[in-house]
Amino acid sequence: MQMSSHKLERKDLMSLEEYSQKRSDIRQQIIAHKRARTLHIGPNLTLLFEDRETMRYQVQEMLRAERIFEAAGIQDELDAYNSLIPDGSNWKATLLIEFGEVEERREALGKLIGIEDRVWMRVHGHPQVFPIADEDLERETAEKTSSVHFLRFELTSSTVKALKEGELLDAGVDHPEYSYSVKPVPAELQKSLLTDLS
């Protein structure tokens, strides 16, 4: 099984010109890859599990958008996005809280303060794992939470072993204003998440 957690380096990136030529094919591939690594929990919450491929795409898109081609600028982008690549004992995910209407979203984000700490993953036979949220910066105020959070789920070696031996994985949220679970998570997602673990 391919290990996808080592960090990106400059040699892993295409030049702006090469990326521009291949961008539409790469985009199709990454959409399919992200689909396999996306989990919807209830009607308004989505977890996108990041990995080396999703971050390589983000870096290439940032370099393209900002027209960055100098070494220092490229390294800055790599440093920023490498922190979102799993380290072999964890999963890293972007949490998106999605509501269609602006007013509905504003009201919901006021009620969902702390939700980023109440997302959980659980391998059958093991305790729930709650995330370490938003290590990069504070994403919440006294009035509302953010619609985007970054989560890191740290797993014990026994949990990783159980997963590799085929135990199923559940996920959910237990917040007073939002309580849903997915039992078990789709097989395609579980298979993809296994590649993040050494």
For the chain, the domains span 10-194
Token pair recorded at residue 69 = 């081609």
What's the rounded Cα separation, in Å, for the pair 131 and 151? 6
Tell me, what's the pLDDT at 142? 81
Does residue 42 contact residue 180 with C-beta atoms inside 8 Å?
yes
- For residue 28 the two structure tokens come to 């199709």
pTM confidence score: 0.92
Residues present in the chain in total: 198
pLDDT by residue for the chain (198 residues), tens only, comes to: 344 558 999 999 999 999 999 999 999 999 999 999 999 999 999 999 999 999 999 999 999 999 999 999 999 999 999 999 999 999 999 999 999 999 999 999 999 999 999 999 999 999 999 999 998 677 777 889 999 999 999 999 999 999 999 999 999 999 999 999 999 999 999 999 999 998
* Nearest partner of 13 among 50, 88, 68, judged by Cα: 68
Count of other CB atoms within 10 angstroms of residue 100: 7
Instruction: Round to whole Å and give the CA distance between 45 and 180.
Output: 10
